[in-house]
Structure 1
Amino acid sequence: MGRRVRPREDIDTELVDLPPELRWREWMGRVEAVVFAAPEPVPREVLAKVVGRDCNLDLLIDAIRDELRGRPYDLVSVAGGLQHRTRTGFADAIRAATGLGATAPKPLSQSEALVLMCIAYFQPITRGELGRVFGKEVSRDVIGHLRALGFIAAGPRSPTPGAPYTNVTTKTFLSHFGFESLRDLPDIDLLEDAGLLSKDRLLADGFPVGLGTDATAVDGDDDEPFERDEPLAG
């Protein structure tokens, strides 16, 4: 007979017996402890379970961040939740002491970055639709590599002949690039100004045609790496 799982113990979230200042400090400690212990970003509704009903979670998080000023790590909003991350300025010290980050994944090639950008902006989108965007077939290897990195996943089937699976971005994509949600993606007008997107060349169904001078380089061949800044996960 298997062991009976013990029910989760309830905790006192209101802390009415504590003076307001101590109550606030206890709530701060609980929130920071939960975030610190979690392996991935913690949604706010989860953090709300350890504080009082009248606690302003936004003010509480601001108070924690104020205390972390000058510390080598911060509390960041990413992928729909909160996570501790070391500040980028300490990356060299961490590598020198522990070797962590010394074997960082190979940066995305320019073609992979362009495909990923297109998926992020126009998801859900099939590989065939991506081919229409770039004017040539998008390699399965490019899609496979982005999936292996965890940046994209299979989305709903497209209502087109054959019902192919679409591609969508993931929470890993948001976390890796420091976005809290897809609403944090740069405005398309900014991409047009940078020469990455041409809004005056659109297909009838709304997909863009032409993503800068490297738009046809989507077969994974010897492209220049796409550099990016990455905070180290705490």
Structure 2
Amino acid sequence: MAEDIEEQEESLFEAPPMAEQERMIEAVLFATSEPITLKELESRMPHGCDAGEAMVHLRKRYEGRGVQVVRVGDGYAMRTAADLGFLMQKETVEVRKLSRAAIETLAIIAYHQPVTRAEIEEIRGVSVSRGTVDQLLELEWIRFGRRKMTPGRPVTFVVTQGFLDHFGLENARDLPGLKELRAAGLLENRPPPGTMPLLGDGEDEEESTEGQSELFED
């Protein structure tokens, strides 16, 4: 009798088989519209589960399928395979395009984050209106970052997980580089004298921020 009780107590703390852990993660991802982190997944699962290992197996199982498990920032989500996106075109809601100022501001934040308003204005060469920043905040494509350790402790801006998700990026490092943008014909103009480049060095530093902003118009 004592042995039976000990076995029952041990079973309460024994993690489910890995296949069952995969099913749990699959169920949560299927029902969640927003990306969810491994830590959040593990908090919902029984004691002893390894969400990280289960996620590796689950992503492998979905490789090549119409729906895939993708990483978005620190989280994971189920998304339609990129090559099948055309099937969803009729379901796509057309939204109003961002103003040129908003596009340029968003591009600068994406490539320079964390960046202050003053730094954005220095790069653009013109002031940034409060409405432009408010619009990007309302879209939840940017958010406030940590304050900079400079006089006045100005607040910084960074792109959000929603921005990465919208553009199909795992993180900001996946943004196209200058060579890719130039090859796509998006970097043809040079910036006005005194403006700062978006990124790069040497010859690349002279490329125009105006061209790079076009990345976000599609």
Same fold (TM over 0.5): yes
Which of 58, 61, 71 pairs up with 1:64? 61
Residue 37 (str. 1) matches residue 41 (str. 2): no
Task: Quote the residue 2:143 is aligned against.
Answer: 153
Which of 103, 119, 129 pairs up with 1:129? 119
- Could you list the runs of 5+ residues in structure 1 that have no partner in the other structure? 1-9, 16-22, 96-100, 218-223, 229-234
Q: Could you tell me the TM-score, scaled by structure 2's length?
A: 0.68
Contact 1:110–1:225, Cα closer than 8 Å, also in 2? no
- CA deviations on 1:115-169 (whole Å, 9 max, x unpaired) are 2111112122122211111112122222121111111122233344443322221
Distance 1:196 1:37, change over 3 A: farther
Distance 1:54 1:145, change over 3 A: closer
State how far apart, in whole Å, the 2-side matches of 1:83 and 1:54 are.
14
Q: Which has the higher helix share?
A: 2
Equivalent AA in structure 2 for residue 181 of structure 1: N
Task: Quote the residue 2:78 is aligned against.
Answer: 84
State how far apart, in whole Å, the 1-side matches of 2:164 and 2:20 are.
30
Task: Quote the residue 2:132 is aligned against.
Answer: 142
Distance 1:63 1:133, change over 3 A: closer
Contact 2:107–2:216, Cα closer than 8 Å, also in 1? no
Report SS of the residue matched to 1:114.
Answer: helix
Where do residues 191-210 of structure 1 align in structure 2 (5 Å cutoff)? 191=181, 194-195=186-187
State how far apart, in whole Å, the 2-side matches of 1:191 and 1:113 are.
15
Contact 1:197–1:210, Cα closer than 8 Å, also in 2? yes
Equivalent AA in structure 1 for residue 37 of structure 2: P
Give the aligned CA root-mean-square deviation in angstroms.
3.9
Task: Quote the residue 1:14 is aligned against.
Answer: 15
Distance 1:11 1:185, change over 3 A: farther
Task: Quote the residue 2:22 is aligned against.
Answer: 28
State how far apart, in whole Å, the 2-side matches of 1:156 and 1:209 are.
29
Distance 1:209 1:150, change over 3 A: farther
Report SS of the residue matched to 2:35.
Answer: coil
Where do residues 86-125 of structure 1 align in structure 2 (5 Å cutoff)? 86-87=80-81, 88-93=85-90, 95=91, 101-102=92-93, 104-125=94-115
- Could you list the runs of 5+ residues in structure 2 that have no partner in the other structure? 1-10
Compute the displacement of 1:188 (Å): 4.3
Contact 1:109–1:226, Cα closer than 8 Å, also in 2? no
Compute the displacement of 1:174 (Å): 1.6
Equivalent AA in structure 2 for residue 92 of structure 1: Q
Distance 1:36 1:114, change over 3 A: same
Structure with more contact order per residue of length (Cα contacts < 8 Å, sep ≥ 6): 1
Number of matched pairs: 193
